Amino acid sequence: MPKTSARLLALLSLLQARRDWPGALLAERLDISPRTVRRDVDRLRELGYPILAIKGPDGGYRLDAGSELPPLLFDDEQAVALAIALQGAARSGAGIEEAAARALHTVRQVMPARLRHRIDTFQVTAADAVRPETRVDSGVLMTLSAAVHAREVLRFDYRRRTGERDPGPARRVEPHHLVTWGGRWYLVAWDLDRGDWRTFRADRITPRVPAAGPRFTPRTLPGGDAAAFVAGRFRGAGGAGDWPCRGEVILGLPAAEVSRFAGEALVEELGPDRCRVVLGSWSWPGLAAALGRFDADIEVVGPPELRDAFARLARRYAAAATGPGAGPGVGPEVSGPPTPEGPRRGTRAGAGP
């Protein structure tokens, strides 16, 4: 007969493998007597495992969900962290997917009902390896995931890069998915006020109270895959390895207007009439030309190569305006009113020469 400790572990493993176990079948599988099964069940109960006795002709046992996680006592945040880690491991591609999935099932089975429900609503897609560079409150993540799962309109305040809250009313979105990218959490959602798909950094979100609104019918995400959607947006904006030249500017236009014509650029709203644009191209002059097609003031954030490219293009454009064949009154100092159609006239963002 196996030692008591090994026998208890074997019994616990069997109880976790299926819902109900007849006592006689447990005795047969463990090669022990029904009386020993009863004693071992009592020992597991003393350790905190909630094992129920099933009435019937043969009798039996069931491992039930208790008020805490035996034998280790996890608080809610620790349990959530464990479930997130196991979900990520199950999709890691490191050869441990099956073991991680079984471990997640085992942990879930003995969770309290209230915590098990929260974990069931938490589904995340890993678009890239997650690095703990930006902390997000676990309560915020649970609120976002619950809204995604329940298909409820979400209301929240959004902070700028400087930490200041965006002016105006709360953002109203139809949350679609939580995605990790580059060590950060993002919410993919349909922005009801701007009428377009957006990605929001979770660490900048502060849910309103109450955060949840009416239920909605999910829209079809472009491409149908949340991970590919986020990865495409960041890679198209000049992410590592995609474009040899990448620059960042601030445009004097609303983000909603720029994003309609910016292709795969990363566009971040900074105010009612200002936005940050990160864009890539095959050359610095091509990048400067793609950004210059927007009829707006441009503030170059970096790098210096982009600033130099703007200077070279300015000299070329000035020479073209004053060269042979230029009509009277045409010169670098002459300018007309803003052209609303300006963003539509250039080449597609992220595809400069």
In this prediction, residue 311 carries a pLDDT of: 93
Instruction: Give the C-alpha separation, 268 to 117, whole Å.
Output: 35
- Asked if residue 23 lies in contact with residue 39, where contact means CB atoms within 8 angstroms, the answer is no
Q: Residue 6: which residues within 8 A CB-CB, separation 6 or more?
A: none
Q: Residue 209: which residues within 8 A CB-CB, separation 6 or more?
A: none
In this prediction, residue 338 carries a pLDDT of: 37
The pTM for the full model equals: 0.43
* pLDDT tens string 9-20: 788 878 877 778
Strands 171-181 and 124-126, bridge-based pairing: parallel
pLDDT at 82 over 90: no
Q: Which residue has the higher pLDDT, 111 or 252?
A: 252
Mean predicted lDDT score pLDDT of the chain = 75
Smallest Cα–Cα separation from 215: which of 306, 148, 310, 115? Answer: 148
Name the least confident of 35-49, 156-170, 237-251, 282-296. 237-251
* pLDDT tens string 203-261: 899 998 887 788 999 898 887 777 667 766 665 444 433 567 888 899 988 776 776 67
Other Cβ atoms less than 10 A from the Cβ of 57: the count is 6
In this prediction, residue 333 carries a pLDDT of: 40
The HSE-up count of residue 240 (CA atoms within 13 Å, CB side) is 3
Percentage of residues in the chain having pLDDT higher than 90: 12
The HSE-up count of residue 269 (CA atoms within 13 Å, CB side) is 22
Q: Residue 23: which residues within 8 A CB-CB, separation 6 or more?
A: 34, 37, 38, 58, 59, 60, 61
How long a stretch of residues is the chain? 353
Q: Residue 259: which residues within 8 A CB-CB, separation 6 or more?
A: 196, 265, 267
In this prediction, residue 305 carries a pLDDT of: 93
Sign of CA dihedral 227, 233, 239, 244: positive
In this prediction, residue 95 carries a pLDDT of: 45
Q: What 3-state class would DSSP assign to 111?
A: coil
* pLDDT tens string 157-199: 998 776 677 767 889 999 998 876 666 788 999 999 888 888 8
Angle (CA) 115-149-114 rounded to 5° is 15
pLDDT at 3 over 60: yes
Instruction: Give the C-alpha separation, 55 to 283, whole Å.
Output: 76
The helix or strand, by DSSP H or E, that contains position 235, with its residue range, turns out to be: helix 226-236
What is the DSSP code (8-state) at residue 343? G
Instruction: Give the C-alpha separation, 190 to 212, whole Å.
Output: 15
In this prediction, residue 347 carries a pLDDT of: 35
Assign 295 a pLDDT band (cuts: 50, 70, 90).
confident
Q: Read out DSSP for 144-189?
A: HHHHHHHTEEEEEEEB-TTSPBPSSSPEEEEEEEEEEETTEEEEEE
